[in-house]
Amino acid sequence: MSQELCSSMEKAPQRALLKALGLTDDEIAKPIIAIVTAKSEIVPGHMHLDRITDAVKAGVYAGGATPVVIPAIGICDGLAMGHGGMRYSLPSRELIADSVESMLIGHAFDGAVFVPNCDKIVPGMLMGAARVNIPSVFVSGGPMLSGKYKGKKVSFSSVYEGIGAVKKGTMSLSELDALENSACPGCGSCCGMYTANSLNCLTEALGMALPYNGTALAVSSERIRLAKRTGEAICRLVRDAITPRMILTKRAFTNALTLDMALGASTNTILHLFAIAAECNVALDLDLVQKISDTTPTLCKLSPSCETDMEDLGLAGGVPAVLHELAKKNLIDGSAHTVADHALAEDYEHAHVLDDTVIHRIESPLSPVGGIAVLKGNLAEAGAVVKRSAVDNSMLAFSGKAKCFNREEDAVAAIYSGRIQKGDVIVIRYEGPAGGPGMREMLSPTSALVGMGLDKDVALITDGRFSGATRGAAIGHVSPEAAEGGKIALVADGDIIKIDISAGRLTLDVPAKTLDARRKKLRPHDSDVSGWLLRYQNLVTSAATGAVLKKKF
């Protein structure tokens, strides 16, 4: 594409601008590669991406092309958590995809290396890459090391849980302060199988990143070497004209969903895989997710469900070892193509599990079914999702009385004030893609339940979504959402809600006539939003289809 910009006599003005950048004639004559980096000084996962970007540049130069760095935005979900800023997190995925499209096409790049790390940035860049469809490859910034506190591994979510412990009286303020100073020791994406690390692992199964992209630590030299190899890889992809949509086929998404289930990854991956697939015109739905979950064993149990973290997963063999185990039962399509310009099977055929306490053998899995479950019923006619691997066995089947809240903050206040009791089902509504708007991520209420010692006695249901750091019976993505007239809007305090995760059922035990009467009295819920969020609210679709924006309006 770059030759269209600068190869003829008529393009002398464009060449003049490129020379203003300091590029030589030789550099302009080579393929020009965009390095799309989310580097910033506000996101811990992104603070070091200049080092990764420099390594990619070295690889691009070594491969015979010319690298040019361009920026992408990135919101830290942790910093946005628990206030109005979280409304911008999921919508930022669309802005990132749009900006990728604008920058890559506007400047006629020949290929692109994407350097993301955190939650919405990875899928936003994948959506943009698929949309533009020029040769592309991903290398993330890598996971953070775990913190250490009182001889145990801790992380960002531990601090949230500590707040609940202080409220309950089982932790002092000075202990919380010490935990706060220990939990996040440096750069990288938060150290558990949270959304960012989930997606960075899935890029390997999608074929869009080289092996170990998901687990090589942010502070490691392995990450720098990986970035250099990625820079070399994009040059081969450009030479061979291999584009994202040639890689992101239905089998690639099926492989990613299978890995997702085996890892016990974040429920947010469902939203994002659906959105990326939509850019590739690949159809995914919740029925397929449930089918894959029913046939894929859970092989890993990772933080926040336990102390085992991303470093441990890497030392145990990483994603290639997990794929190798899954392939033993023909659960992975090894013929899928990758950015390494070979079949996926070549990435894992020589990989082996090095610690079967971290990556369980396929013959002796942690569970015969996958880490994410889809629930349907009259309370979620289009579906809801739960991170089954993070739910205590005692909560897999649960029935309780509803306590309803129309925003996250009210639910958190109720938990901390002692108004939530054992046996309750917390319902948080009007937090969906349109109702929020922005489908806020709710680590605050789930961590409050853990800190207050209620995570094995109280369920939480929402049309919003949950952080990958969440544990407990936290059911999100309830669709249709309240703002669309879903039955979650009709739930009243004291209603009985029945949850059967094993059977995939979510039921509101209220007669249909009663619900009809409530619907007649239902009034539209006010949401005072403006700017970009108002546009988003009017364009966003259901969580059941990935909360993508309408193509026509």
> Pick from 229, 259, 269: which is nearest to 139 by CA?
229
Dist CA 185 CA 356 (whole Å): 27
Residue 466 neighbours by CB under 8 Å, 6+ apart: 266, 267, 268, 387, 441, 442, 443, 446, 474, 476
- From edge to edge, which strands make up the β-sheet containing 111-115? 66-71, 32-37, 111-115, 136-138
Alpha helices in 454-511 (DSSP H): none
- Judged by DSSP in three states, 425 sits in strand
> Pick from 374, 336, 112: which is nearest to 235 by CA?
112
> Pick from 218, 236, 252, 205: which is nearest to 113 by CA?
236
- Across 350-420, where does the E strand assignment appear? 372-377, 380-387, 397-405
Residue 509 neighbours by CB under 8 Å, 6+ apart: 399, 495, 496, 497, 498
Dist CA 464 CA 330 (whole Å): 35
Dist CA 6 CA 433 (whole Å): 43
499 token code pair: 């949850």
CA dihedral 146, 150, 156, 157 (to 10 degrees): 120
Q: Parallel, antiparallel, or unpaired: how do β-strands 424-428 and 459-462 relate?
A: parallel
Dist CA 507 CA 392 (whole Å): 20
Helix (H) or strand (E) holding 295, with range, is: helix 286-295
Dist CA 403 CA 127 (whole Å): 38
Question: What value, to the nearest 5°, has the Cα angle with vertex 72 and ends 70 and 75?
Answer: 155
Q: What is the 3-state secondary structure (H, E, C) of 321-333?
A: HHHHHHHHCCCCC
Residue pair 243/77 in contact by the 8 Å Cβ criterion: no
Question: What value, to the nearest 5°, has the Cα angle with vertex 485 and ends 423 and 551?
Answer: 120
Catalytic residue among 146, 155, 220, 467: 467
Phi, psi of 500 (to 5 degrees): -135, 90
Based on the residue annotation, tell me whether 399 is a catalytic residue of this protein. no
Q: How many CB atoms lie within 10 A of CB 142?
A: 31
Adjacent-strand bridge partners of 390: none
The CA–CA distances, whole Å, from 118 to 82, 97, 264, 348, 451 equal: 18, 15, 18, 25, 25
**Radius of gyration, alpha carbons of the chain:** 23
Dist CA 457 CA 454 (whole Å): 5
Q: Which residues are catalytic?
A: 467
